[in-house]
Amino acid sequence: MTPKVSIIVPVYNVEKYLSQCLDSIIGQTLPEIEAICINDCSSDNSLSILQKYASQDQRFKVINLPENHGVGYVRNIALEHVTADYLMYLDPDDWLEPNACEQAYNQIKTYGNDFAFFNYSTYYEAKGKKYCNHNKFQLLLAEKDTNHINLNKLLKPFEVSSESWFKIYKTDFIKNNHIEFSEHYAFEDRLFYYRAFIASNNVSVINKSLVNYRKRKGSITTNSKHWQDSIDAWQIIKGHLSKDVSLSAQRSFIVNSLNSQLSWFNSYTKAEKSIRNAFYEKLREQFLTYNLEEVKAVKEYIDYATFAKVIKFKDYTSFKYRKMLENMCRVENKNNKIIVHFLGIKFGVTKSGGRLV
């Protein structure tokens, strides 16, 4: 049986969640699939679990690495083993809806897309609750033809998280354009996503939740120690955005990177002083690399409300916040109103947050 979709699963020390992930692959309504599972030198029972599934279902390919390399490296070498015309990525602590592969395959094959987005649900493990944001693709769904979209011709910046696992890709599109993951940083998806964005001219969107993303304690996205990787990753991507890339790609990069950094900014207000200061210094250096005119052009899409949460009127007088803002932005008190000049844009701050002025 020739597979129609290859599913790449990077595995490292996830014995607690792995069976749910693999069971969701077995339960797919599209039988013509293969699962390429790369064990990245796990120290728990992950490899044994993979081998058990492979012994019971020939659609599972298990590759065991003798040394740990990281998820970016694992995803890159997994591509060498893909035999299907289309591929998907699935993290080992997440799981697919039963019709995920079938719906994604029918979409991308029918419309000849380079890749297709689909929606996902976030499962908050601590609360045991699941949520799907149906407004995630609002900009794309407003296009006249949602089955044939050129991201590089969008008039408005397209802001969406860069994770690889809520998309299906044409295998030849990835291989022919040499689209790879970063192997040296956490948040390895970002470089991959922007390379795909720039190279594509035909994408589509399915506004249905086809995968369940587990939000859990200890994952990369909840680990504040990765803030430097996050900032460095954006710098690497910026180096790939040559002047001849589309205006849409450039503006989308600015909005995505700034909003990501503002989110980190907000999360560090209660961090230990030495860690907080190192973070703010690094972030300040990053802010200084932006072209103010380019930022002004997309200011309505930047999440200043997130930034403003830490500049409330009642907090401004404290030493901690004055030091935090030093050299990053200018704050003035005008007519009993706090005005913040940030990246060349003014916005007012009240006790409840901020707004552009």
pLDDT at 253 over 50: yes
- 36, 105 contact by CB (below 8 A): no
Amino acid at 121: S
Residue 94: CB atoms within 10 A of its CB come to 23
Between 198 and 316, residue with greater pLDDT: 198
What is the C-alpha separation between 233 and 16, in angstroms, rounded?
Answer: 29
Amino acid at 33: I
Residue 176: CB atoms within 10 A of its CB come to 10
pLDDT at 326 over 60: no
The pLDDT score that the predictor gives to residue 356 is 43
The pLDDT score that the predictor gives to residue 266 is 65
Sign, CA torsion 176/177/182/186: negative
Per-residue tokens: 241: 């955005």
Residue 272 pairs in a beta bridge with none
Helices and strands counted in the chain (H then E): 13, 13
The pLDDT score that the predictor gives to residue 221 is 46
DSSP helix/strand/coil, 270:
coil
What is the C-alpha separation between 268 and 231, in angstroms, rounded?
Answer: 14
Lowest mean pLDDT among 51-55, 195-199, 207-211, 276-280: 276-280
Residues in the chain: 357
The pLDDT score that the predictor gives to residue 314 is 44
Between 120 and 232, residue with greater pLDDT: 120
pLDDT at 223 over 50: no
Between 299 and 215, residue with greater pLDDT: 215
Q: Note every long-range contact of 157-160, with CB atoms under 8 Å and residues 24 or more positions apart, other chains counting.
A: 157/248, 157/251, 157/252, 157/254, 157/255, 157/256, 157/298, 157/301, 158/248, 158/252, 159/252, 159/255, 159/256, 159/259, 159/301, 160/117, 160/136, 160/256
What is the C-alpha separation between 351 and 311, in angstroms, rounded?
Answer: 9
